[in-house]
């Protein structure tokens, strides 16, 4: 990374990270350009709406744990994982019949399902083009990651088999749908930096664990926050299992049984959804879910203990706190 030296002669790490993320943002928009104005507009739609850029940030931070300094490769690797993520959002929104994405109309709502699906495919293709420039090892890892992502989506669509623990099935789905790509984000960064193989694998394990924490935190936010850029209770309305609703199965008071019955019913009526949301927000299951997320964040933090001390490690440790306490 390059950044202006601070007064004491050290590099301002935060400024260096922000500089790289700015470069990645420009790279994403360039990668989404197409031969026609329509495809370019649709492909840049979700990117231009912004986002947390969690995966690119992990690439950048992990690239600090090795001796090699290659800003161009860092930007490419980060662009690959974020393009893959954004492409999956186009497909997710079609499957979920979402109308909002990051506070703006979803692509499927604006251009229709067919265009949204094809634009997602286009972004996957652009990610494949970029990853080929990094080398065969990166291509292979990207392909294996994509396979896990798809299998996770299929497992979610099909649901648990008879005798399966629904919560464990859900965690396995998240490991494929979310954890795999976040693990690859951290691993890509470490690979670009030529980090020690043990460090690479530790960062990949951290990425998968913090990815689960990130998604489980989203499960809570979907219920508790009105500031996510998505319609609150979208997962509830679509009958998608989440950590709080799965944990609710363990509560058996009469009011809990009635709440489960309504959760399993039709929540397309706004008033019915609002009522269920209000009850869940005040239910002890939210505190239980938060406790589980906090426990997993501590497990992720423990994976960082053997890594060299420095601003990159400090930023990853802070990330463990941020994903637990965020509200949007």
Distance CA 286, CA 291 (A): 9
Distance CA 250, CA 285 (A): 9
What tokens appear for 188 in the block? 């890509």
Percent of the chain with pLDDT over 90: 81
Q: What is the pLDDT of residue 89?
A: 92
Distance CA 182, CA 46 (A): 19
Quote the number of domains for the chain.
Answer: 2
Whether residue 305 is predicted with pLDDT greater than 80 in this model: the reply is: yes
CA angle 309/205/121 to nearest 5° reads: 120
Q: Is residue 7 part of a domain?
A: no
Return the number of other C-beta atoms located less than 10 Å from residue 64's C-beta.
Answer: 23
Do 249 and 301 belong to one domain?
A: yes
Distance CA 106, CA 230 (A): 10
What tokens appear for 248 in the block? 């609710």
CA angle 230/233/234 to nearest 5° reads: 60
Residues 6+ apart with CB under 8 A from 288: 247
Do 125 and 213 belong to one domain?
A: no
Question: In this structure, what CATH number is given to the domain that contains residue 240?
Answer: 1.10.600.10
Residue 43, φ and ψ in degrees, nearest 5? -70, -30
Domain boundary among 177, 195, 213: 195
Do 206 and 184 belong to one domain?
A: no
Percent of the chain with pLDDT over 70: 95
Q: State the residue range of the domain holding 60.
A: 12-195
Distance CA 206, CA 187 (A): 10
CA angle 23/115/236 to nearest 5° reads: 85
What tokens appear for 13 in the block? 């790490």
Give the burial string for 298-311 (b: 16+ CB within 10 Å, else e): ebbbebbeebeeeb
Domain boundary among 131, 166, 195: 195
Which position has the token pair 């500031």? 227
For residue 101, the cross-strand partners are 104
- Least Cα distance to 62 among 81, 42, 47 occurs for 81
Per-residue pLDDT of 102-126, as tens digits, reads 778 888 988 899 999 999 999 999 9
Per-residue pLDDT of 186-240, as tens digits, reads 999 999 999 999 999 999 999 999 999 999 999 999 899 876 556 678 788 888 8
Residue 129, φ and ψ in degrees, nearest 5? -65, -45
Do 229 and 311 belong to one domain?
A: yes
Confidence class for position 2, pLDDT limits 50, 70, 90: very low
Confidence class for position 66, pLDDT limits 50, 70, 90: very high
Do 226 and 182 belong to one domain?
A: no
Q: What mean pLDDT value characterizes the chain?
A: 92
């Amino acid at each position: 990374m390059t950044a202006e030296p601070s007064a004491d002669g050290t590099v301002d790490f935060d400024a260096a990270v922000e500089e790289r993320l700015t470069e990645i943002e420009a790279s994403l928009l360039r990668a989404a350009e197409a031969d026609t104005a329509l495809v370019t507009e649709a492909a840049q739609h979700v990117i231009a709406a912004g986002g947390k850029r969690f995966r690119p940030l992990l690439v950048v931070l992990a690239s600090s744990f090795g001796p090699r300094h290659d800003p161009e490769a860092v930007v490419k690797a980060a662009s690959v994982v974020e393009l893959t993520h954004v492409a999956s959002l186009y497909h997710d929104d079609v499957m979920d019949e979402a109308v909002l994405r990051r506070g703006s109309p979803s692509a499927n709502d604006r251009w229709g399902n067919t265009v949204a699906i094809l634009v997602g495919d286009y972004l996957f293709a652009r990610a494949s083009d970029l990853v080929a420039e990094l080398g065969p090892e990166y291509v292979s890892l990207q392909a294996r990651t994509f396979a896990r992502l798809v299998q996770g989506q299929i497992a979610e669509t099909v649901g648990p088999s008879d005798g399966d623990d629904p919560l464990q099935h859900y965690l396995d789905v998240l490991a494929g749908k979310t954890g795999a790509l976040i693990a690859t984000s951290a691993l890509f960064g470490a690979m670009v930096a030529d980090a020690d193989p043990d460090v690479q694998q530790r960062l990949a394990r951290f990425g998968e664990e913090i990815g689960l924490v990130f998604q489980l935190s989203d499960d809570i936010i979907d219920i508790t926050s009105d500031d996510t850029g998505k319609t609150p209770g979208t997962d509830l309305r679509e009958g998608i299992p989440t950590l709080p609703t799965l944990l609710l199965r363990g509560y058996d008071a009469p009011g809990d049984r009635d709440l489960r019955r309504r959760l399993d019913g039709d929540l397309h009526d706004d008033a019915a959804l609002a009522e269920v949301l209000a009850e869940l927000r005040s239910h002890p299951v939210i505190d239980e879910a938060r406790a589980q997320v906090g426990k997993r964040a501590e497990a992720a933090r423990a994976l960082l203990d053997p890594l060299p001390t420095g601003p990159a490690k400090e930023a990853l440790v802070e990330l463990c706190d941020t994903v637990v306490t965020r509200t949007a």
